[in-house]
Amino acid sequence: MVRTKTGLTIVERAMSQIDGFQKVLRTLEQQTAMRGQSTSTLNNYVRRIAAISLKFNRLPEHISDDELNEYLTGLALSAKSPSRSNFKHAVYGLRYYFRHIGQGKRAINLPPIKKDDKLPTILNQSELKELFATPKLLKHRIILSLIYSAGLRSQEVIRLKIADIDFERKTIHIRRSKYNKDRIVPLSDLIAKGIRKYLAAERPHDWLFNGKEADGRYSSKGLSWIMRETLKKSSIKKKVNLHSLRHSYATHLLEQGASIVTVKELLGHADIATTMVYLHVAQCEKVKAHSPFDRLYSTPKCSDRHSN
């Protein structure tokens, strides 16, 4: 967590300087836990609420709409990309906050955020092979290749336990993911061999990847560091990050014939519209425009296709 010149985090400053902030923080933490929402999302929003509260020296519900709009406009009009990002996160944070304190109308009235039309950057097969071969540590090679092989989010990786890997059934059980849902994804035969080798060498306990977190897990920052350092040592020039492995997984599945519905379920998306972005980047075979009547009497039936 980023600390200010005083040595305190921005949330700690808000707790000490803003009347009522500590109580609000406890309420948000309780509601987030009861709803099964991500703590990382909560932390991001809390930092934004802390920054806004410190700016006006009071909690958001005591800041007028005009003051908030002027503040958000300043962020939105800034030419600097970090400020634009701050604008988006500030709006998201305020929406989250107002909904949790029962001021849904104020959440709705906040400025709309235009969604980026950027398509995800995909790594090709040659780039992936180089990426997975670059790290010197077996643990790092397994982490990167596992993420791609199963389309995992970073939080899903660090929550994996050894018991979630079923070598006999060739499945990975992803628990309490986004939207607090579980799902099962296939375990690659090659990845299974790699994991067995890693387990024999590293002997982790409980968590598949042990780290320096308080509960013994690896950290999401640690995962991002592995990706950044690996990219530096590779010849890959594309601007990609850890999540690009998940994008590549989805795109390659579509290119290899998986249906959009299957990919949606494997990714754990709540809405198929989220999955459909990969249709714009997948290089699938195009079927020439034609009348279906022309194939009505020539297309073999399913039974004919599998008769030999």
Which are the catalytic amino acids?
153, 178, 243, 246, 269, 278
Rounded CA separation 14/16 (Å):
5
∠ at Cα 86 (85, 87), nearest 5°? 90
Q: What is the CA radius of gyration of the chain?
A: 24
Q: How far is CA 150 from the centre of its chain?
A: 14
> In this structure, are residues 177 and 183 in contact, taking their beta carbons and an 8 Å threshold?
yes
What is the side-by-side order of every strand in the sheet holding 183-186?
A: 165-166, 171-174, 183-186
> In this structure, are residues 218 and 210 in contact, taking their beta carbons and an 8 Å threshold?
yes
User: What is the three-state SS of 117-158?
Assistant: CCCCCCCCHHHHHHHHHCCCCHHHHHHHHHHHHHCCCHHHHH
Token pair 């009522």 in the structure block, residue = 20
Which residues are CB-neighbours of 167 under 8 A, at least 6 positions away?
187, 192, 196
∠ at Cα 119 (117, 121), nearest 5°? 150
